[in-house]
Amino acid sequence: MAKRDYYEILGVSKGASAAEIKKAYRKKAIEFHPDKNPDNKEAEAKFKEAAEAYEVLSDADKKARYDQFGHQAFEGGFGGGGGGMNMDDIFSQFGDIFGGGGFGGFSGFGGGGGQRRVKGSNLRIRVKLTLEEIANGIEKKIKVKRKIQAPGVSYKTCSTCNGTGQVTRIANTILGRMQTASPCNVCGGSGQTIDKKPADADAQGLKVSEETVSIKIPAGVVDGMQLKVAGKGNEAPGNGISGDLIVVIEEEAHDKLQREGDNLHYDLYISFPEAVLGTSKEINTVTGKVRIPIDAGVQSGKILRLRGKGIPSINGYGSGDLLVHVNVWTPKTLNKKQKEFFEGMLADEHFEPKPESSDKSFFEKVKDMFS
Protein backbone atom coordinates (compact mmCIF):
# COMPACT_ATOMS: atom_id res chain seq x y z
CA MET A 1 0.00 0.00 0.00
CA ALA A 2 1.45 3.35 -0.97
CA LYS A 3 1.98 5.62 1.99
CA ARG A 4 -0.31 8.60 2.19
CA ASP A 5 0.96 12.11 2.47
CA TYR A 6 1.32 13.15 6.11
CA TYR A 7 -0.39 16.49 5.54
CA GLU A 8 -3.25 14.75 3.83
CA ILE A 9 -3.58 12.28 6.73
CA LEU A 10 -3.99 15.10 9.23
CA GLY A 11 -6.03 17.20 6.80
CA VAL A 12 -3.82 20.27 7.01
CA SER A 13 -2.04 22.35 4.39
CA LYS A 14 1.72 22.38 3.95
CA GLY A 15 1.88 25.82 5.46
CA ALA A 16 0.06 24.79 8.63
CA SER A 17 1.44 26.10 11.91
CA ALA A 18 2.60 23.83 14.74
CA ALA A 19 -0.57 24.68 16.65
CA GLU A 20 -2.75 23.78 13.67
CA ILE A 21 -0.92 20.48 13.22
CA LYS A 22 -1.35 19.65 16.89
CA LYS A 23 -5.01 20.54 16.80
CA ALA A 24 -5.61 18.46 13.66
CA TYR A 25 -3.85 15.47 15.19
CA ARG A 26 -5.81 15.76 18.41
CA LYS A 27 -9.02 15.60 16.37
CA LYS A 28 -7.88 12.49 14.46
CA ALA A 29 -6.62 10.81 17.63
CA ILE A 30 -10.00 11.29 19.25
CA GLU A 31 -11.88 10.17 16.15
CA PHE A 32 -9.91 6.93 15.71
CA HIS A 33 -9.13 6.20 19.35
CA PRO A 34 -9.28 2.41 19.92
CA ASP A 35 -11.45 2.85 22.99
CA LYS A 36 -14.06 4.51 20.85
CA ASN A 37 -13.65 2.02 18.01
CA PRO A 38 -13.31 -1.40 19.62
CA ASP A 39 -12.27 -4.19 17.28
CA ASN A 40 -12.16 -1.84 14.32
CA LYS A 41 -8.99 -2.63 12.39
CA GLU A 42 -9.50 0.21 9.97
CA ALA A 43 -9.81 2.75 12.77
CA GLU A 44 -6.73 1.34 14.45
CA ALA A 45 -4.74 1.69 11.22
CA LYS A 46 -5.89 5.27 10.85
CA PHE A 47 -5.07 5.96 14.48
CA LYS A 48 -1.52 4.72 13.92
CA GLU A 49 -1.23 6.54 10.63
CA ALA A 50 -2.20 9.83 12.25
CA ALA A 51 0.24 9.30 15.11
CA GLU A 52 3.07 8.66 12.67
CA ALA A 53 2.19 11.74 10.64
CA TYR A 54 2.12 13.83 13.79
CA GLU A 55 5.41 12.44 15.03
CA VAL A 56 7.07 13.74 11.88
CA LEU A 57 5.21 17.00 11.35
CA SER A 58 5.50 18.06 14.99
CA ASP A 59 9.29 17.80 14.89
CA ALA A 60 10.93 20.69 13.05
CA ASP A 61 13.88 18.55 11.89
CA LYS A 62 11.85 15.62 10.70
CA LYS A 63 9.30 17.92 9.11
CA ALA A 64 12.00 19.70 7.12
CA ARG A 65 13.38 16.37 5.94
CA TYR A 66 9.92 15.17 5.01
CA ASP A 67 9.12 18.41 3.17
CA GLN A 68 12.23 17.96 1.07
CA PHE A 69 12.39 14.23 0.50
CA GLY A 70 8.93 12.88 1.31
CA HIS A 71 8.65 9.39 2.80
CA GLN A 72 12.06 8.48 1.42
CA ALA A 73 13.54 10.69 4.11
CA PHE A 74 12.84 8.02 6.69
CA GLU A 75 13.59 4.84 4.81
CA GLY A 76 15.61 2.53 6.96
CA GLY A 77 14.40 4.44 9.94
CA PHE A 78 10.99 4.16 11.36
CA GLY A 79 7.93 3.60 9.30
CA GLY A 80 9.72 2.42 6.18
CA GLY A 81 7.06 -0.20 5.72
CA GLY A 82 4.30 1.71 7.42
CA GLY A 83 2.88 1.45 10.90
CA GLY A 84 6.19 1.79 12.68
CA MET A 85 4.68 3.07 15.88
CA ASN A 86 3.33 0.77 18.51
CA MET A 87 0.49 1.69 20.79
CA ASP A 88 2.77 2.41 23.73
CA ASP A 89 4.67 4.97 21.70
CA ILE A 90 1.46 6.59 20.67
CA PHE A 91 0.05 6.78 24.17
CA SER A 92 3.28 8.17 25.52
CA GLN A 93 2.86 11.02 23.04
CA PHE A 94 -0.44 11.89 24.63
CA GLY A 95 1.18 13.46 27.64
CA ASP A 96 2.10 16.22 25.22
CA ILE A 97 -1.02 16.36 23.17
CA PHE A 98 -3.51 16.30 25.96
CA GLY A 99 -1.54 18.40 28.34
CA GLY A 100 -0.42 15.64 30.66
CA GLY A 101 1.68 17.86 32.87
CA GLY A 102 4.31 19.97 31.23
CA PHE A 103 6.90 17.27 30.86
CA GLY A 104 7.59 18.03 27.26
CA GLY A 105 10.54 15.75 26.84
CA PHE A 106 9.07 12.49 25.67
CA SER A 107 11.23 10.79 23.17
CA GLY A 108 8.23 9.12 21.58
CA PHE A 109 10.04 7.01 19.05
CA GLY A 110 12.74 4.69 20.15
CA GLY A 111 10.71 3.72 23.17
CA GLY A 112 12.81 5.82 25.55
CA GLY A 113 11.27 6.18 28.96
CA GLY A 114 10.31 9.44 30.55
CA GLN A 115 13.28 9.58 32.89
CA ARG A 116 15.11 12.82 32.55
CA ARG A 117 18.50 13.59 33.96
CA VAL A 118 18.08 16.45 36.37
CA LYS A 119 20.47 19.30 35.71
CA GLY A 120 21.98 21.40 38.48
CA SER A 121 21.42 25.13 38.36
CA ASN A 122 23.86 27.47 36.62
CA LEU A 123 26.08 29.84 38.55
CA ARG A 124 27.04 33.31 37.39
CA ILE A 125 30.16 35.20 38.34
CA ARG A 126 31.62 38.47 37.12
CA VAL A 127 35.29 38.67 36.24
CA LYS A 128 37.06 42.02 36.02
CA LEU A 129 39.77 42.24 33.39
CA THR A 130 42.24 44.95 32.50
CA LEU A 131 42.64 45.95 28.87
CA GLU A 132 46.06 44.27 28.89
CA GLU A 133 44.51 40.99 30.09
CA ILE A 134 41.87 41.26 27.39
CA ALA A 135 44.47 41.95 24.72
CA ASN A 136 46.64 39.01 25.65
CA GLY A 137 44.08 36.50 26.93
CA ILE A 138 44.48 35.12 30.41
CA GLU A 139 43.82 32.16 32.64
CA LYS A 140 42.06 33.21 35.83
CA LYS A 141 41.70 31.17 38.95
CA ILE A 142 38.40 32.09 40.57
CA LYS A 143 36.94 30.98 43.86
CA VAL A 144 33.41 29.70 43.32
CA LYS A 145 30.85 28.60 45.89
CA ARG A 146 28.97 25.74 44.31
CA LYS A 147 26.66 23.04 45.56
CA ILE A 148 28.10 19.56 45.42
CA GLN A 149 26.78 16.18 46.49
CA ALA A 150 27.68 16.00 50.17
CA PRO A 151 30.26 13.33 51.05
CA GLY A 152 28.40 10.30 52.33
CA VAL A 153 25.14 10.96 50.54
CA SER A 154 23.55 8.09 48.66
CA TYR A 155 20.55 7.86 46.39
CA LYS A 156 18.18 5.03 45.61
CA THR A 157 15.66 4.24 42.92
CA CYS A 158 12.38 6.06 43.46
CA SER A 159 9.82 3.55 44.66
CA THR A 160 6.88 5.57 43.38
CA CYS A 161 7.88 5.46 39.72
CA ASN A 162 10.38 2.58 39.93
CA GLY A 163 13.07 4.85 38.55
CA THR A 164 11.28 5.64 35.32
CA GLY A 165 10.70 9.25 36.37
CA GLN A 166 7.10 9.20 35.28
CA VAL A 167 3.82 7.80 36.37
CA THR A 168 1.18 6.65 33.92
CA ARG A 169 -2.40 6.73 34.83
CA ILE A 170 -5.62 5.77 33.19
CA ALA A 171 -8.20 8.51 33.17
CA ASN A 172 -11.80 8.16 32.19
CA THR A 173 -12.69 11.12 30.05
CA ILE A 174 -15.59 11.95 27.78
CA LEU A 175 -13.42 10.51 25.01
CA GLY A 176 -13.16 7.21 26.74
CA ARG A 177 -10.26 5.68 28.59
CA MET A 178 -7.03 7.66 28.18
CA GLN A 179 -3.61 6.71 29.32
CA THR A 180 -1.46 9.69 30.22
CA ALA A 181 2.06 9.98 31.55
CA SER A 182 3.22 12.70 33.87
CA PRO A 183 6.43 13.28 35.79
CA CYS A 184 6.74 11.60 39.16
CA ASN A 185 6.23 14.23 41.81
CA VAL A 186 8.09 12.27 44.46
CA CYS A 187 11.45 12.34 42.67
CA GLY A 188 10.73 15.26 40.34
CA GLY A 189 11.24 13.07 37.29
CA SER A 190 14.80 12.06 38.10
CA GLY A 191 13.87 8.51 39.07
CA GLN A 192 15.93 8.74 42.27
CA THR A 193 15.36 9.76 45.87
CA ILE A 194 17.69 10.19 48.83
CA ASP A 195 18.79 7.04 50.60
CA LYS A 196 21.17 8.38 53.28
CA LYS A 197 22.49 11.88 53.78
CA PRO A 198 24.74 13.58 56.30
CA ALA A 199 23.22 16.18 58.62
CA ASP A 200 24.82 19.17 56.88
CA ALA A 201 23.34 18.35 53.48
CA ASP A 202 20.19 20.00 52.17
CA ALA A 203 17.00 18.20 51.16
CA GLN A 204 18.59 17.12 47.88
CA GLY A 205 21.73 15.83 49.58
CA LEU A 206 23.81 18.81 48.45
CA LYS A 207 26.09 21.16 50.37
CA VAL A 208 27.96 24.32 49.44
CA SER A 209 31.66 23.98 48.81
CA GLU A 210 34.21 26.59 47.84
CA GLU A 211 36.32 25.57 44.90
CA THR A 212 38.92 27.22 42.76
CA VAL A 213 37.97 27.05 39.12
CA SER A 214 40.47 27.82 36.42
CA ILE A 215 38.97 29.80 33.55
CA LYS A 216 40.74 30.33 30.26
CA ILE A 217 39.69 33.68 28.85
CA PRO A 218 40.54 34.14 25.18
CA ALA A 219 42.01 37.39 23.89
CA GLY A 220 39.53 39.92 22.53
CA VAL A 221 36.59 39.41 24.90
CA VAL A 222 34.15 42.30 25.24
CA ASP A 223 32.52 43.85 28.30
CA GLY A 224 29.26 42.01 29.03
CA MET A 225 30.27 38.89 27.12
CA GLN A 226 29.39 35.58 28.78
CA LEU A 227 31.61 32.54 28.72
CA LYS A 228 30.31 29.13 29.74
CA VAL A 229 32.39 26.68 31.74
CA ALA A 230 30.41 23.48 31.32
CA GLY A 231 29.74 21.41 34.42
CA LYS A 232 31.15 23.91 36.92
CA GLY A 233 27.78 25.13 38.20
CA ASN A 234 25.83 23.44 40.97
CA GLU A 235 25.82 19.68 41.00
CA ALA A 236 22.50 17.84 40.72
CA PRO A 237 21.32 15.12 43.09
CA GLY A 238 21.65 11.45 42.13
CA ASN A 239 22.90 10.72 38.65
CA GLY A 240 21.95 14.19 37.42
CA ILE A 241 24.37 16.40 35.53
CA SER A 242 26.04 19.51 36.88
CA GLY A 243 24.92 22.98 35.84
CA ASP A 244 27.28 25.39 34.11
CA LEU A 245 29.35 28.28 35.37
CA ILE A 246 28.55 31.45 33.44
CA VAL A 247 31.41 33.93 33.48
CA VAL A 248 30.39 37.51 32.74
CA ILE A 249 33.24 39.68 31.47
CA GLU A 250 33.70 43.12 32.95
CA GLU A 251 36.28 45.43 31.37
CA GLU A 252 38.10 47.83 33.68
CA ALA A 253 38.59 51.35 32.36
CA HIS A 254 42.17 52.08 31.26
CA ASP A 255 43.73 55.38 32.28
CA LYS A 256 45.39 56.02 28.91
CA LEU A 257 43.70 53.86 26.30
CA GLN A 258 40.11 54.00 25.10
CA ARG A 259 38.65 50.95 23.45
CA GLU A 260 36.38 51.14 20.43
CA GLY A 261 35.64 47.65 19.14
CA ASP A 262 39.05 46.15 18.42
CA ASN A 263 40.68 49.58 17.94
CA LEU A 264 42.29 51.59 20.70
CA HIS A 265 42.62 55.35 20.99
CA TYR A 266 45.45 57.16 22.71
CA ASP A 267 45.76 60.90 23.33
CA LEU A 268 49.37 62.03 22.88
CA TYR A 269 50.34 65.51 24.13
CA ILE A 270 53.45 67.14 22.72
CA SER A 271 54.89 70.58 23.43
CA PHE A 272 54.86 73.46 20.99
CA PRO A 273 58.64 73.22 20.41
CA GLU A 274 58.35 69.43 19.88
CA ALA A 275 55.68 70.03 17.27
CA VAL A 276 57.91 72.55 15.50
CA LEU A 277 61.14 70.59 15.74
CA GLY A 278 59.88 67.02 15.58
CA THR A 279 60.48 64.37 18.27
CA SER A 280 59.88 60.74 19.18
CA LYS A 281 57.62 59.48 21.94
CA GLU A 282 57.27 56.23 23.83
CA ILE A 283 53.75 54.87 24.16
CA ASN A 284 52.56 52.07 26.43
CA THR A 285 50.46 49.80 24.27
CA VAL A 286 48.58 46.74 25.53
CA THR A 287 51.42 44.55 24.31
CA GLY A 288 54.36 46.64 25.51
CA LYS A 289 56.15 49.91 24.83
CA VAL A 290 56.45 51.34 21.33
CA ARG A 291 58.50 54.36 20.28
CA ILE A 292 56.94 56.43 17.54
CA PRO A 293 58.58 59.24 15.54
CA ILE A 294 56.80 62.60 15.32
CA ASP A 295 57.75 64.58 12.22
CA ALA A 296 58.81 68.22 12.51
CA GLY A 297 55.81 70.45 11.75
CA VAL A 298 53.19 67.94 12.88
CA GLN A 299 49.70 69.44 13.10
CA SER A 300 47.61 69.21 16.24
CA GLY A 301 44.83 66.67 15.67
CA LYS A 302 46.87 64.41 13.44
CA ILE A 303 46.07 60.71 13.89
CA LEU A 304 48.86 58.18 13.65
CA ARG A 305 47.67 54.64 13.01
CA LEU A 306 49.73 51.80 14.51
CA ARG A 307 48.46 48.78 12.64
CA GLY A 308 47.76 45.64 14.66
CA LYS A 309 48.52 47.31 17.99
CA GLY A 310 44.89 47.20 19.11
CA ILE A 311 42.89 44.29 20.54
CA PRO A 312 42.97 40.89 18.83
CA SER A 313 39.68 39.92 17.23
CA ILE A 314 37.75 37.44 19.42
CA ASN A 315 37.22 35.38 16.26
CA GLY A 316 40.95 35.06 15.78
CA TYR A 317 41.14 37.15 12.63
CA GLY A 318 43.91 39.69 13.18
CA SER A 319 43.95 42.64 15.54
CA GLY A 320 42.61 46.16 15.64
CA ASP A 321 44.82 49.26 15.38
CA LEU A 322 46.10 51.78 17.90
CA LEU A 323 45.15 55.29 16.84
CA VAL A 324 47.41 57.93 18.33
CA HIS A 325 45.82 61.40 18.43
CA VAL A 326 48.45 64.12 18.42
CA ASN A 327 47.63 67.14 20.58
CA VAL A 328 49.94 70.15 20.65
CA TRP A 329 49.91 71.62 24.11
CA THR A 330 49.85 75.40 24.28
CA PRO A 331 51.15 77.06 27.47
CA LYS A 332 48.71 79.43 29.17
CA THR A 333 51.39 81.72 30.60
CA LEU A 334 54.75 82.90 29.31
CA ASN A 335 57.64 84.76 30.90
CA LYS A 336 58.78 88.10 29.52
CA LYS A 337 61.42 86.66 27.19
CA GLN A 338 59.08 84.02 25.76
CA LYS A 339 56.36 86.59 25.29
CA GLU A 340 58.69 88.89 23.36
CA PHE A 341 59.73 86.00 21.13
CA PHE A 342 56.19 85.11 20.15
CA GLU A 343 55.15 88.73 19.78
CA GLY A 344 58.00 89.08 17.34
CA MET A 345 56.61 86.14 15.37
CA LEU A 346 53.13 87.63 15.07
CA ALA A 347 54.20 89.81 12.21
CA ASP A 348 56.13 86.96 10.59
CA GLU A 349 54.25 85.61 7.57
CA HIS A 350 55.91 82.21 8.06
CA PHE A 351 53.59 81.59 11.01
CA GLU A 352 50.41 82.30 9.02
CA PRO A 353 48.33 79.09 8.78
CA LYS A 354 48.59 77.68 5.25
CA PRO A 355 46.82 74.28 5.41
CA GLU A 356 47.96 71.92 2.67
CA SER A 357 45.77 69.28 1.15
CA SER A 358 47.69 66.72 3.24
CA ASP A 359 46.53 68.46 6.41
CA LYS A 360 43.17 66.80 6.33
CA SER A 361 40.21 68.45 7.93
CA PHE A 362 38.72 66.98 11.10
CA PHE A 363 35.85 65.42 9.18
CA GLU A 364 38.15 63.79 6.65
CA LYS A 365 40.21 62.36 9.47
CA VAL A 366 37.16 60.87 11.15
CA LYS A 367 36.15 59.34 7.84
CA ASP A 368 39.65 57.86 7.52
CA MET A 369 39.60 56.45 11.00
CA PHE A 370 36.63 54.24 10.27
CA SER A 371 37.75 53.09 6.85
Which residue(s) pair with 139 in the sheet? 216
Q: 244-260: string of b/e by CB count within 10 Å (b at 16+)? A: bbbbebebeebeebebe
Distance CA 12, CA 63 (A): 13
Q: With CA atoms as reference, report the closest residue to 182 among 102, 97, 116.
A: 102
Nearer to Zn ion, 83 or 163 (CB): 163
296 φ, ψ (degrees, to nearest 5):
-60, 135
CB of 252 to Zn ion, least distance (A): 49
Q: Which is nearer to Zn ion, 184 or 206 (CB)?
A: 184
Minimum CB separation of residue 154 from Zn ion in Å reads 16
126 annotated as a binding-site residue: no
How long a stretch of residues is the chain? 371
- Known binding residue 161? Answer is yes
CB of 113 to Zn ion, least distance (A): 12
d(CA 276, CA 291): 19
Return the number of the residue (11 or 102) whose C-beta is nearest Zn ion.
102
Shortest Å, Cβ 220 to Zn ion = 47
Q: Is 158 annotated as a binding residue?
A: yes
SS (H, E, C) 16-44: CCHHHHHHHHHHHHHHCCCCCCCCCHHHH
Is residue 249 annotated as involved in ligand binding?
no
The minimum distance between CB 187 and Zn ion, in angstroms, equals 3
Give the residues across from 144 on adjacent strands.
211
Are the C-beta atoms of 314 and 222 separated by less than 8 Å? yes
Closest CA to 209 of 252, 146, 273: 146
Smallest gap from residue 162 Cβ to Zn ion (A): 8
CA 130 to chain centre: 23
- Write the CA distances from 54 to 35, 97, 132, 280, integer angstroms: 20, 10, 56, 75
Binding site for Zn ion (CB under 5 A): 158, 160-161, 184, 186-187
Question: Residue type for 88, please?
Answer: D
Q: Which residues are part of a known binding site for Zn(2+)?
A: 158, 161, 184, 187
Q: Which residues are part of a known binding site?
A: 158, 161, 184, 187
